[in-house]
A = this chain, B = another copy of it.
Amino acid sequence: MPNTMEKAAVLVETLPYIRKFAGKTVVIKYGGNAMLNADLKRSVIQDIVLMKFIGLRPVVVHGGGPEITALLKQMGKQSSFVSGLRVTDEETMAAAEMVLVGKINTELVALLGGQGARAVGLNGKDAGLIKARKHLATVYEDGAARQVDIGYVGDVAEVKPDIIWTLLTNDYIPVIAPVGVGENGESFNINADYVAGEVAGALRAEKLVLLTDVEGIYRDYHDKSTFISTLDFAAAKRMIREGSIEGGMIPKVEACIRALAGGAAKAHVIDGRQNHSLLLEIFTDTGIGTEVVKGEGQSDEC
């Protein structure tokens, strides 16, 4: 471990970064291994509280992970999937909401509180934060795409960020569960990456940081030498279109695109499996993972 003087030197090195990000809003999508592993979880919580105390304004959006499946199983409820999305009937949605809002969210809020931060849990129903609309699954059959209703799976229709601003300006850390509210008050389960991207856009955040289980984005996922440090907006869209970004990485890159399109300055896909990856992203020049940026000459109207 570093000795006392080395510690002081480390602190002083952070000065330019602290200066740079003072008062800036950073939206953090928290999920994957960083949520499952106890050590990583503690490290993320510490990072977020530290960010808050040195003057940034973190906003946390979390996913649900395997806990929803566990509860459904415990309740004796079978799940079916269409194109990788869980078919979500009313009972399934209720279980998902209970886990997201009543378990994962409250646990995060308590952990942040345990480190001295004043965190407040939110979900899309609070002050109408996230209006949802139904998301239809796309099925390819006989070479044709078909839209299938899979229940209470939603997409973000609108973000009303007033409650987030109220909390941020009063020095709280908002922690958001990815549940949206429909026209009739019904709940929708929304992909947390999309929620994070839309929230970052609506807040015109300085950064969206997505904690993932990969090092970042690759031009060819199978060839580690194709790692991309900086990706521009147009290229990101093209890569999705052309299929070089695929699977679970698609919603992450799309979340970055939505964040930038909405008004966020930068978006980052980083490796949540590494301890303190959030701090490393903020407090080093090169950052870590892949950053997605607007690119020169690109207008705001994307």
Contact = CB atoms under 8 A, between A and B. Distances in A.
Interface of A: 1-2, 4-16, 18-19, 22, 43, 46-47, 49-50, 53-55, 71, 74-76, 94, 97-103, 105-106, 109-111, 113-116, 118-123, 125-128, 162-163, 166-167, 170, 172, 179, 181, 184-185, 187, 275-276, 279-280, 283-284
A119 B160 CA distance: 13
13 contacts: A8-B280, A12-B276, A15-B115, A53-B54, A55-B55, A71-B98, A98-B103, A110-B185, A113-B128, A118-B128, A120-B163, A166-B166, A166-B170
A299 to B, nearest CB: 27
A206 B103 CA distance: 34
Contacts of A10: 2, 6-7, 10-11
Contact of A53 (B22, B116, B119, B128): B22
Contacts of A19: 49, 53, 115-116
Contacts of A184: 114
Contacts of A49: 15, 19
Nearest to A274: B5
A13 B47 CA distance: 11
A186 B158 CA distance: 34
Contacts of A123: 106, 121
B172 A127 contact: yes
Contacts of A47: 8, 12
B53 A15 contact: yes
A5 B2 CA distance: 11
